[in-house]
Chain A
Amino acid sequence: MYPLTRLYARKLYRQKLIYIFFACFFTASFFYAFLISTPQMEEMLNINIGIVGRKNFPEFMMRFYVGTVGILFNVFLLTLFICEEDRNKMLYQPLLHGETRSRMIRSKIYVAVSMSMIFVLLVAFINYITAFMRWGYEIFEWAAFIRTIIKYLLSGIYMSVITLGIVTLCICTRGVWKTIFFVIIYLLIDQIIYGSNIALLQKIWVGYYLNLWTFAYEYQKITFSELLIGISIMILYGIAFFQISLYRTKKIDF
């Protein structure tokens, strides 16, 4: 690993926010697995534990992270990681020690993207742990297990692309609140587009595929064509965000 990437990784994983967030997430997952499966709670929350529990529980819990919560969590971390460093005059420090702008932003991107992927896998791990504690080996029904793991991996790809988008926003706006504002706007537009009937717009919108995979194909296998188109669109968005970040970083006047 390149020294700067390793340093950024060490710096990021020192953030207490990460550990607090995942402790809260574990608590929430535990609460859902153990407490909502009482008949009274099922009725009160209008859910059917027969559907959302057991082998489907990890997939059911995935939606609590992937999407709004995970994106907002990532945006808080990344604004600390990029915008706050920029404000504190720390972002450019590696450049005064022989690093290039390109290497600096690439290192930031590698750390940020791998972080978002690791977080999705960590969410999967937590959900499987709590599900196992509640239902035991029942959760490992082979077809459901493979389907869920694929969905987690797809969500990881989506979150990585969104992370690249957030990095791009951080570099372009160079402000914490501006970045958070634009991310909230994205989340609102995402809901509007998913709810709309404009097929062409949906097909080119990166967030549409996550909604498709997690809601339209809930507890079902995703068709190969939807999978291929979705991944292709995400890769295109990812490349675009990566190139814009590189270009903008080269143009910044610190």
Chain B
Amino acid sequence: MEKIISVKNIRKAYKKETAVQNVCFELTPGNIMGLLGTNGAGKTTTLKMITNLSSKDNGKIVIDNVSLDENPGLALAKVGAALDTPSFYQELTARENIEYFAHLYKNIPNGQVMELLDYVGLGSQAEKKVKKFSLGMKQRLALARAMLGQPKLIILDEPANGLDPQGQINLYRLICDMAKERNTTFIVSSHQLHDMEKFCTDILILDKGKSILQGKTEEILSETTNIVDSILEEANAARSVLSGCKGINLVSQKGNQFTIRLESICFDEFVKILVANHLHIHYLSMRKHSLQDLFLKLTGGA
């Protein structure tokens, strides 16, 4: 199948510290990959290497069959990106800012700038100076700028920062629509795990510069174990039973509220263990492992 981007073993070190090492992934048209990781995990460095803003120590990046090392101009002509905090010429209006960059493309038809602004919901604000924009509006404007030239791949670095919940939902809908309607591929770094789980087709989790989990979102979540939320009487006794059982991982405890991960036993077996140990059950509920649970487990947050 056609690959829009292929990243192989990229590595970046700053003096003694390794920021990114041996990161690999491939994406096909219409994929949306969520790039997750704690602060300093190497997400932005990875995105900057893909966009050639930062050099890499080794590895290979191919975008739409063009090597980034051999022909960066041609490779990046198919990429749109919004990295860091969105930045613009503050004294220019939203329309002027987008027009400014539109001049760098040969075949941008008249009216496409306004079309893009309408698409991201800024059509009515087109003549407003960017210095008067909120962070959320700037995020949307950055997306409009990244969409210039109809790129095959769009890279967004924490695009939901500064957006209110409604704005976040609208942004994610916009990304999903673009992926479906235009077959655009996205790489989106974010801390909004709950939302990423819903709209990303692929997931890559980085920790200390290393890829610790990657694959199709559905597969990752279906393969993982289940979580049980429970309220048990006699907290100390429950704790000693739960910590001593094989196949059970006590994730957290707040008083007599326990969150347990079932690793190698099923829910029925778990209930049997509780009954066999004479633990009184006030509440018991099983849920699927969420991306957040998985993320916390893998990055040592749980």
In the A-B complex, the 7 residue pairs with the closest CB atoms: A98-B77, A89-B87, A254-B53, A253-B54, A97-B104, A100-B73, A96-B81
B71 to chain A, nearest CB (A): 9
Partner of A7, one of B48, B100, B149: B100
Q: List 15 A-B contacts (CB under 8 A).
A: A3-B103, A89-B85, A90-B88, A93-B101, A94-B101, A95-B52, A96-B76, A96-B80, A97-B76, A97-B80, A97-B149, A98-B73, A98-B77, A99-B73, A100-B73
Mark A222-254 against chain B: 1 for CB-CB distance below 8 A, else 0: 000000000000000000000000000001011
A19 to chain B, nearest CB (A): 15
Point out the residues of chain A lying under 8 angstroms from B104, CB to CB.
3-4, 7, 94, 97-99
Which chain B residues have a beta carbon within 8 Å of chain A's beta carbons? Answer: 48, 51-55, 72-74, 76-77, 79-81, 83-85, 87-89, 91, 100-101, 103-105, 146, 148-149
CB < 8 Å A-B pair total = 62
Task: Count how many chain A residues have C-beta atoms less than 8 Å from C-beta atoms of the other chain.
Answer: 22
Is the Cβ of B103 less than 8 Å from the Cβ of A253?
A: no
Is the Cβ of B85 less than 8 Å from the Cβ of A253?
A: no
Point out the residues of chain B lying under 8 angstroms from A4, CB to CB.
104
CA distance A93 to B53 in the complex (A): 10
Which chain A residues have a beta carbon within 8 Å of chain B's beta carbons? Answer: 3-4, 6-7, 11, 14, 88-90, 92-100, 103, 251, 253-254
Point out the residues of chain B lying under 8 angstroms from A93, CB to CB.
87, 101
CA distance A90 to B74 in the complex (A): 21
CA distance A111 to B100 in the complex (A): 17
> By CB atoms of chain A within 10 A, which of B54, B87, B148 has the most?
B87
Point out the residues of chain A lying under 8 angstroms from B83, CB to CB.
89, 96
CA distance A89 to B86 in the complex (A): 8
- A3-B103, A7-B103 as given contacts; A251 in contact with B55, CB under 8 Å: yes
Is the Cβ of A89 less than 8 Å from the Cβ of B84?
A: yes
B67 to chain A, nearest CB (A): 14
